[in-house]
Amino acid sequence: MNPAELLPILKYPDPRLLRVAQPVAAVDERVRTLLERMFATMYEANGIGLAATQVDVHERVIVIDVSEARDQPLVLINPELLWASPETRKGDEGCLSVPGVYDGVERALAVRVRALDAHGHSRELEAEGLLAVCIQHEMDHLQGKVFVEYLSLLKRTRIKAKLLKAGRDGEGEAERPSARTGRRAVPL
């Protein structure tokens, strides 16, 4: 994809990240073009998930690909959470909108969602592990919620100050290994 077609990703604490996304009225060519651009943007940024809210499009659209080969794209349009397991796990999360920040968030181990695909067909999906975490993380974005809101006020204040300073200084995103696994944490 032409780099000009990549979408700019909003960075926390941009207030546009707090907007609640509206349902997609029809899955048409405009939405399919948005999906292509969102996938290209997510892959270019080395993310595994991206909500339309993060690219300043306030519609209920999510793209995900948690595969190692980056060859299993998943589209969720107008997703609805049907069920979340009562069992939870705290794991490190990162976010393309909160570059260089990773922290523990408690999430359901498994979820079931209903959503439209890129052709407008309704489908249900059960997910566990990383895919379940990614779905929950991206659905939060559609509600105007960024993962740092699960953290303490002190941590949120420090993160906000760090990112505002980095924005002024023009610093880039840093990767770091996950404290729990020793592997690189992946921004969602």
Model confidence at 176: pLDDT above 60? no
| Domain range annotation of the chain | 3-169
Per-residue pLDDT at 31: 98
93 is annotated as an active-site residue: no
Average pLDDT score over residue span 131-156: 97
Could you report the per-residue pLDDT of 3-19, keeping only the tens digit for each? 669 999 999 999 999 99
Model confidence at 169: pLDDT above 90? no
Q: What percent of the chain has pLDDT over 70?
A: 89
For residue 186 the two structure tokens come to: 């992946």
Annotated binding site: 95, 137, 141
Per-residue pLDDT at 171: 56
Residue in 182, 97, 178, 177 with CA at minimum distance from that of residue 137: 97
Residue in 59, 47, 65, 73 with CA at minimum distance from that of residue 142: 59
Model confidence at 183: pLDDT above 70? no
CATH topology for the 3-169 domain = Peptide Deformylase (3.90.45)
Q: Which of 93, 138, 171, 175 is catalytic?
A: 138
Model confidence at 182: pLDDT above 70? no
- Phi, psi (rounded to 5 degrees) for 185: -75, 140
Q: Do the beta carbons of residue 39 and residue 65 sit within 8 Å?
A: yes
Q: Do the beta carbons of residue 60 and residue 34 sit within 8 Å?
A: no
Average pLDDT score over residue span 66-73: 97
Grouping H, G, I as helix, E, B as strand and the rest as coil, residue 84 is strand
Annotated binding site for Fe cation: 95, 137, 141
Could you report the per-residue pLDDT of 91-133, keeping only the tens digit for each? 999 999 999 999 999 999 999 999 999 999 999 999 999 999 9
